[in-house]
Chains A and B, each alone.
Chain A
Amino acid sequence: MDEAEVVKPKKNAVGGRLCCLCNQRRPALKRPKTLEQICRECFYTVFEEEIHRVIVDNQLFKPGERIAIGASGGKDSTVLAYVMSELNRRHNYGLDLFLLSVDEGITGYRDDSLETVKRNEIQYGLPLKVVSYKDLYGWTMDEIVKIIGLKNNCTFCGVFRRQALDRGAALLKVDKLVTGHNADDIAETVLLNILRGDIARLSRCTSITTGEEGPIPRCKPFKYTYEKEIVMYAYFKRLDYFSTECIYSPNAYRGFAREFIKDLERLRPRAILDIIKSGEDFRISTSTKMPEQGTCERCGYISSQKWCKACVLLDGLNRGLPKLGIGRSRGPNSDRQRDMKQSNGTRDIQSKQCGTLDF
């Protein structure tokens, strides 16, 4: 590639190259998407305006809508909250924005990251709603882990969080939920779904809006935004985010797919966008039928089974049989169906399941 061409002494302000957009200021970063060398000011502009284009071109929002921003306190959702409120003002989207957080009840982790979200509430002037596992289910993750150990805790976390977000969104009476999934996340999901041969999820995982058939549609304004640029943006703007790993997700397990993507990016930064494109082109008219919609007899949440997955897990917990509902005890068909239903348009990937508390 062109690694060789950039052997240019730093701080060589006089002889050095200038920003290739404004041709006035010193470049501050190399864009992974385009390899352009641009200055900080131009970076802010292209970063924000690209997201604006994605929002407009995909008609993500309508004026007057109430939108919840899934906020974990981490880099992606913090930058998302900041950029969404900027763009809403600048381009008169006419949206009512809210921050929505889930408190899983993880001492030393979630309580700290929630403090970050509470600061964001003030910094960005966005009302915050926190829904907790304790209130919704009667259990904190700390209590669940005490009973089931560290092995299957992500099953609980994942299922409970998805539902908690929907319930929080319903309480806020929002029309949509936006999440901070970035281009790297989506490329990773594409790869994992290919490796698993999961055609149904592969077809869905590149959609910018999902869950339109469910209670609250979800969308991803950062679908084409590189993780590198999100972190650079947060750094240059000195945005306040939380970056400690989840104590229940040891070793910051990121999975081989993530590692592979980052290796590819180093060799050829375009690879991330190309993988997303491949995923989109794979969108096959699946013959796999989506299970029929129904509601859980116990809690009323959408479910294709008698009880939703959260209720099955909860029932096991409350009866002292916490392994109930984990794993694949039934035939592959019913299991697959259940999976499909439960995922309900949101992604379900291994490496970011719990630790990052990324929705």
Chain B
Amino acid sequence: MQLTLEFGGGLELLCESVKIHNVNVDPAEDGGDKLTMKSLLAWVRTNLIKERPEMFMKGDSVRPGVLVLVNDCDWELSGQLDTTLEEKDVVVFISTLHGG
């Protein structure tokens, strides 16, 4: 599944200062043709985060203070970890924890 992932608010520093990643994630790991945010986060942690993963995740979700938008919509409206992703979705992660 083709997705665009964007890291902002300082999170890009955890993935070699690259803000936008066009990625291909295999939904089969989720046991079907659906990919949930929960498994995307696990994938991101393994494949994109190069340092200090604790700045990005806590438990199996993002660290509190990291905002997530799916297609420019707050993931709190779409079920957070249960949000299902579709082809060409854009997922944005922004840290609120940097800078004043």
A contact set with B: CB distance below 8 Å: 3, 6-11, 26-30, 37, 72-77, 113, 180-181, 184-185, 227-228, 230-232, 235-236, 241-245, 251-252, 254, 258-259, 262-263, 265-266, 352, 356-359
Contacts and interface: CB of A to CB of B under 8 A. Distances in A.
Interface in B29-85: 52, 55, 63-65, 67, 69-74, 76-80, 82-84
A11 B71 contact: yes
Nearest to B64: A262
Nearest to A4: B79
B69 A74 contact: no
Top 3 closest A-B pairs, CB basis?
A358-B100, A74-B99, A10-B78
B78 A241 contact: no
A258 B84 CA distance: 30
Contact of B74 (A30, A251, A262): A30
A129 B69 CA distance: 36
Contacts of A11: 71, 86
B80 to A, nearest CB: 7
B55 A10 contact: no
Contacts of B94: 231, 235
Nearest to A266: B64
B13 interface: yes
Nearest to A29: B74
Given A75-B100, A243-B95, A352-B100, A231 B67 contact: yes
Nearest to B79: A7
Central interface residue in B9, B92, B98, by most chain A CB within 10 Å: B98
Given A7-B82, A235-B69, A356-B99, A252 B55 contact: yes
Given A28-B72, A75-B99, A232-B74, 8 more contacts: A6-B77, A9-B84, A10-B70, A27-B73, A72-B100, A263-B64, A265-B64, A357-B99
A258 B97 contact: yes
Central interface residue in B83, B92, B97, by most chain A CB within 10 Å: B97
B73 A245 contact: no
B94 to A, nearest CB: 6
A42 B49 CA distance: 35
B55 A228 contact: no
Central interface residue in A76, A243, A352, A356, by most chain B CB within 10 Å: A243
Central interface residue in A29, A73, A184, by most chain B CB within 10 Å: A29
Nearest to B69: A235
A74 B8 contact: no
A221 B13 CA distance: 30
A226 to B, nearest CB: 9
B76 A8 contact: no
B76 A30 contact: yes
Contacts of A29: 73-74, 76-77
